[in-house]
Structure 1
């Protein structure tokens, strides 16, 4: 084993790209909330973009190296230190045997991602080791439990020291630009005023935000259509419950739902929302599916160099 966990909390979990092809069984996707940061961290080590990583929200996490290893860090700046020396994200770095990697409180962003050679080692369930507590799947022991003090983490690749590098152009994960939303089938059944407000008024991320869903506070949205039969829900779906305050559904969402939807945020927008903290403001922008696809492919081309 290569890393010993000395400090953690229930939100620190092993994640990868998630589970696919199992929602008909009532099992959700799971996976890292910010796939873009995960991809950067993995590529710094030569891993596949979907290799397993540690998702570390809010800090409060510490590791002790039991052997020399080259790791990579991306995503939020959680004031990480190695034996007290500051460590910025978006870079690979050497951690020598006996050194401690400690994450403090967020300076910018919410979730940091730590990658290891080949990804972290854990049993796969339904094709993924992504931790989903309510499904009792994934994680270090395959039971959906979060990481615990005293757990030891191994690598799928060979540990050892290597060349330290940095991401040339880290992605902009701020909320300065609007979040893109692909319009959904029920969008025409919202009032005209609702659609104007949805895309021309600011929204505030509520404290009721987790890996399952993030509630937005702002203008009340009015749905004028008939009741709906529950249907499958994609990542980023923006549901509007009776109180008119939308909920953006995340990686650990339920598999079906019956609330009307404005549409769904794009994967790039979901990566940015995953780094937002309660109280931050954001705006939504409607886009066509073709434009969203083109932006996604452009981001992948930039990522792969």
Structure 2
């Protein structure tokens, strides 16, 4: 059972929930840039939430099915088609042997997720198949390669799954201006009050300099009393402020240590929403505490657990 890659698109990677437990030796986590979309895709199919999927960035992916199965598509609307018939994200579809699945270019958002009933079955490295090209880990070859034309993606054994879709209230609108909560970090007091006010009262633009390591933003420069810090561990979603004052949000393939001061951090769900925005998108910030971020995650986890029409418990 497999999917054959007819066209790998601009950047299509195999991702599971991430390579956890190795940051202390310099190995980053990898994993899905948008956890919200990734987790819902597995939930729609009643897969384990960590099951491997395809993360499709910017589109142009084409697949040929060599077996019957069910799929779920979530995240960005990349103009998906099955046998040249347009389909919408955030729901499941039955796939027959010989069917073709195509993605074109972004309509809304940047990254789509394609989950398969039973999950993908690539080899594991350090307990994960998450693709981190810089570290040459994960993917079909175990060496961090993105998908290539002619690749065969092994699939797990499918289970019969009912037609299901994500509740409308859980589907983000990636075209809206983005406003994200920031949890202040322990270096926060080293940013003068005027600089904090500037950071939280201005809009920033997503620059051209974005990838799976980080998102560089353009806007009002922020200054810190610290010229630099001793390199230390970096959390997912941390907002570094380098010497030029332009914020950099650290994403899934971030380096494990760094020496720039950090004004705070986004939650995982917040960073995932940022990952769906491309150059030119607007983003602004407001301060939140850890309790608020935890409450939002608990609400998301509960909604994910309760499921949606057609999803079994």
TM-score by length of 1: 0.96
Give me the whole-angstrom Cα distance separating, in 1, the residues matched to 2:71 and 2:9. Answer: 21
C-alpha distance in structure 2 between counterparts of 1:246 and 1:177, whole Å: 15
In the aligned structure 2, how far is the partner of 1:257 from the partner of 1:144?
Answer: 23
1:22 and 1:284, CA in 2 relative to 1: closer, same or farther beyond 3 A? same
- Alpha-carbon shift at residue 296 of structure 1 (Å): 0.7
The Cα shift of 1:190 comes to: 1.1
Aligned to 1:16: 16
User: In 1, Cα distance between the equivalents of 2:227 and 2:273?
Assistant: 33
In structure 2, the residue matched to 1:168 is 167
What SS is found at the alignment partner of 1:101? Answer: strand
**Aligned partner of residue 279 in structure 2, secondary structure:** coil
1:162 CA displacement = 4.5
Structure 1 residue 246 displacement after superposition: 0.7
Q: What do residues 83-109 of structure 1 show as CA deviations (whole Å, max 9, x unaligned)?
A: 111110001101111111100010011
Q: CA RMSD in A?
A: 1.3
Query: Offset of 1:117 from its aligned partner?
Result: 1.5
Q: Within the alignment, does 1:222 sit opposite 2:223 as a pair? A: yes
Report the secondary structure of 2:300's partner residue. Answer: helix
Aligned length: 304
Q: 1:208 to 1:226 in 2, by over 3 A?
A: closer
Distance (Å, rounded) in 2 between the aligned partners of 1:126 and 1:60: 30
Whether the 8 Å CA contact 2:10–2:60 is kept in 1: the answer is no
Query: Is the contact made by 1:173 and 1:272 (CA closer than 8 Å) also made in structure 2?
Result: no
Residue 10 of structure 1 and its aligned partner are, at CA, apart by 5.5
Superposition pairs of residues 45-56 of structure 1, within 5 angstroms:
45-56=45-56
Contact 1:181 1:263 in 2 (8 A): yes
| Structure 2: unaligned runs, 5 residues or longer | 307-313
Q: Tell me which residue corresponds to 1:292.
A: 293
**Is contact 1:173–1:271 with CA below 8 Å preserved after alignment?**
no
**Runs of 4+ residues deviating >3 angstroms:** 173-177
- Quick check: 2:91–2:164 contact (8 Å CA) kept in 1? yes
Contact 2:3–2:155 (CA under 8 A) maintained in structure 1: no
CA deviation after TM superposition for structure 1 residue 73, in Å: 0.5
Instruction: Describe the superposition over 1:48-92 as per-residue Cα deviations: whole angstroms up to 9, x where unpaired.
Output: 111100000101100011122111100000000111111100011
Number of the residue aligned with 1:213: 214
Distance in 2 between the 1:271 and 1:198 partners?
20
Q: Cα distance, 1:155 vs. partner?
A: 1.4
Name stretches of at least 5 consecutive residues in structure 1 with no aligned partner: none
How much has 1:178 moved relative to structure 2? 1.3
Deviation at 1:225, TM superposition (A): 2.5
Aligned residue number for residue 278 of structure 2: 277
